[in-house]
Amino acid sequence: MDKLQEDLRTKRLGKRIFYTRKIGSTNEWAKELAKLGAEEGTVVVAEAQTDGHGRLGREWSSPEGGLWFSVVLRPKMRASETIGLVFAAGLAVAEVLREAYGLPVETRWPNDVLVHGKKICGILCEMHVTGNAAVFVLVGIGVNVNVDVKKVLPRSLQDCATSVQDELGKTVRLEELLRLLLERMEIFYDLYVKEDLVPVLEKWKKHARFIGQRVRVANETERVSGLALDVDSEGALVLKLEDGTLRRFLVGDVSMEQKQ
């Protein structure tokens, strides 16, 4: 990690990096540090997580070989605006995986990066608020890097997950990937803070092949199908339903509808 910090060309992200072999969840670790006052840009990385999680408490499988890390951000934003950080992070992952390894990446609303339709990265943003203002946000990023999916991920994930190693047929340097991700994330984070979400979203949408396709959206209260029209300037998915009505979703999961 010393070499990483020497090479890292960022102003804030990764100026302090904490590293461990194994931990429950890097987001929980980052949360503890943030509550103790950790500064913006603090990063925590683990070689493996024993209790990695996704949204809604779902399990995130995190064996050795993957890149599991969380970044503490302290954006001066309203709580509702922090939703946009997931797009800044997802865009950074998508661009780096494409540029560094030539992977044909795609972004899927709201928090996934896919290769050949399979999930290679998931992002979990958790925030701590007072009133309407964000105090800190933890951006947790999990990338299946040097992971042999068939050997080390649970059976249930084998058809829907992929990894850098499986796609390239070789392993890559985790530290180098972390450096590239932090550098790119800082660029899109700064862009979002300086302007608004639109410039980040425009770039994110260039990778979003589900737009213009028929999809299913599921959240805690409903499941609906329709045509994915857009992701609007607040990060909401806009769906055109069978009867022509438009619906906006701020949370949910998207899956492609099977062609008949």
Least Cβ distance, residue 147 to ligand BT5 (angstroms):
7
Nearest CA to 29 out of 14, 47, 44, 42 is that of: 44
Residue 251 in contact with residue 245, Cβ under 8 Å?
A: no
Q: Give yes or no for residue 55 binding ligand BT5 (CB under 6 A).
A: yes
Q: Give yes or no for residue 165 binding ligand BT5 (CB under 6 A).
A: no
Q: Give yes or no for residue 60 binding ligand BT5 (CB under 6 A).
A: yes
Q: Give yes or no for residue 82 binding ligand BT5 (CB under 6 A).
A: no
Q: Give yes or no for residue 217 binding ligand BT5 (CB under 6 A).
A: no
Say if residue 63 is preceded by a cis peptide, omega within 30 of 0. Answer: no
Q: What is the rounded distance in angstroms from the CA atom of residue 155 to the CA atom of residue 167?
A: 18
Residues within window 92-151 making contact with ligand BT5, judged by CB under 6 A = 111-112, 119, 122-124, 140-142, 144
Residues binding ligand BT5: number (CB under 6 A): 29
* CA contacts within 13 A on the Cβ side of 43: 27
Other CB atoms closer than 10 Å to residue 135's CB: what's the count? 14
Q: Which of 68, 109, 136, 188 is close enough to bind ligand BT5 by CB under 6 A? A: 68
Main-chain dihedrals φ then ψ at residue 233, nearest 5 degrees: -65, -10
Please report, as ranges, the residues that interact with ligand BT5 according to CB under 6 A.
Answer: 25-27, 49, 52-55, 58-62, 68-70, 111-112, 119, 122-124, 140-142, 144, 153, 157, 161
